[in-house]
Structures are given as C-alpha cells and as structure tokens.
C-alpha cells in the first residue's frame, strides 16, 4: 500500500511538472519578445497619411523628413491628437476638425502650455472630451486625416489657443479671450 501511495504521489509530481512546463515556456518566450520590442522601439514611425507611413523618427524626435509643426509627432501623438479631434469635433465640418488639431499644436508650441501633444491633451481640465471620456469613441478616418493635416501645417484656427461651443460654454474667462474665427459650432480665440 505504501508503494502505491508513493507511486501515486510521483505521478502527481510528474503531471504537475509536465503541465506547468509549457506555461513557464510561454511566459519566458513572452517576456523575451516584450524585451526585444522595447529595445527595438528606439526608433518610432510617424504618420504622414492616414495609412501608416515608412518615415522613421529617431527617439530624440529627429527625423529623415521634417514634419512642419511638431517634433514629437510619433504614432502615439498622432493617434491621441486624432482621438481628441474626434471627441471634440466629431460633428463639425472637416475644417473645424483640422482647426481643433491646430489649437492643440499651437498650445504645444506656446510657452503657456506643455510642450508636447500628449502634455497638452492630458493637461487637467483642458479638453472636455478627455475629462468625460468622449475622446475614446471609435476613431473616424476623417479625424485621423485632420490630425495629419494639422501636423502638416494647416491651421484654419488662425493661430488660436482656445476653442469652445458658444451654445454650451458658461465660462466668463474663456469669453474674455479675443475671438479670431468661427468654424461650424466652435469659436476659436487667442
């Protein structure tokens, strides 16, 4: 009987080892792949159209091709720029979408705001769509193209740093800003 229990215990150990070994292998391989991706990410791609482009940008922001508006135009920056455009201006005309993107870029170039696209977008209370989660709605091709066009230098906002919907805004401070343009349902101001 004792031999029987010992044999049963050995079978359990073997089964556990055989069962856990593939799991450990998967975890090790996954870790190795992740580490390789991290080391390979010293170079990032920028987007020059709505499809992924082949323009390489070095980790420091230098690129083989100059983007006319921003030195931090990696894929992530383009994507979150398009997300905020979608969240803030989904129902606006195309020119209004580009203008919203241009405002974000104008802020990133102004000493009054953070100096990167993610910094501007994630500034506390800066954009209603970020605060209420609307920027996470499905991204349209038009919003992505508007982000690319804004990055490529289009600025229908005429250098504005602020925009709002006059039908919704109750802020007296924002209304004190000099209005430079109206596009669709948004007012753009400096």
**Residue range 108-132: mean pLDDT, rounded:** 94
Query: What is the structure's pLDDT at 5?
Result: 67
At 74-94, the pLDDT tens digits run 889 999 999 999 999 999 999
Q: Which tokens hold the place of 134?
A: 């609307």
**Residue range 6-18: mean pLDDT, rounded:** 69
Query: What is the structure's pLDDT at 18?
Result: 67
pLDDT band at 53 (very low <50, low <70, confident <90, very high): very low
CA distance 31 to 37: 10
At 38-48, the pLDDT tens digits run 444 433 444 54
Burial class (CB in 10 A: 0-12, 13-18, 19+), 25: exposed
Mean of pLDDT over the chain: 78
- Is the pLDDT at 159 greater than 80, yes or no? yes
Of the candidates 170, 101, 181, 107, the residue with the CA atom closest to the CA atom of residue 135: 101
User: Which residues, including other chains, have CB under 8 Å from residue 52's CB and lie 6 or more apart?
Assistant: 45, 75
- Is the pLDDT at 31 greater than 70, yes or no? no
Instruction: Pick the more confident residue, 52 or 143.
Output: 143
Q: Tell me which H or E stretch contains 5.
A: helix 2-40
Query: What is the structure's pLDDT at 72?
Result: 54
Question: Cβ–Cβ contacts within 10 Å for residue 47, how many?
Answer: 22
**Residue range 8-35: mean pLDDT, rounded:** 62
Query: What is the structure's pLDDT at 73?
Result: 73
- Is the pLDDT at 56 greater than 90, yes or no? no
Query: What is the structure's pLDDT at 166?
Result: 93
- Is the pLDDT at 16 greater than 80, yes or no? no
């Amino acid at each position: 009987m004792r031999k029987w229990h010992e044999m049963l215990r050995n079978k359990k150990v073997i089964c556990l080892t055989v069962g856990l070994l593939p799991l450990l292998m998967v975890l090790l391989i996954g870790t190795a792949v992740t580490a390789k991706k991290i080391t390979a990410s010293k170079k990032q791609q920028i987007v020059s159209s709505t499809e992924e482009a082949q323009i390489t940008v070095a980790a420091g922001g230098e690129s083989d091709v100059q983007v006319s508006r921003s030195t931090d135009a990696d894929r992530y920056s383009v994507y979150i720029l398009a997300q905020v455009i979608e969240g803030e201006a989904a129902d606006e005309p195309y020119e209004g979408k580009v203008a919203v993107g241009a405002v974000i870029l104008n802020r990133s170039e102004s000493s009054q705001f953070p100096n990167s696209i993610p910094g501007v977008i994630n500034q506390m209370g800066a954009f209603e769509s970020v605060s209420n989660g609307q920027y996470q709605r499905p991204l349209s091709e038009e919003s992505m193209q508007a982000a690319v066009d804004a990055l490529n230098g289009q600025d229908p906002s005429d250098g504005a740093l602020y925009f709002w919907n006059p039908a919704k805004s109750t802020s007296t401070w924002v209304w004190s800003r000099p209005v430079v343009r109206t596009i669709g349902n948004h007012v753009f101001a400096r």
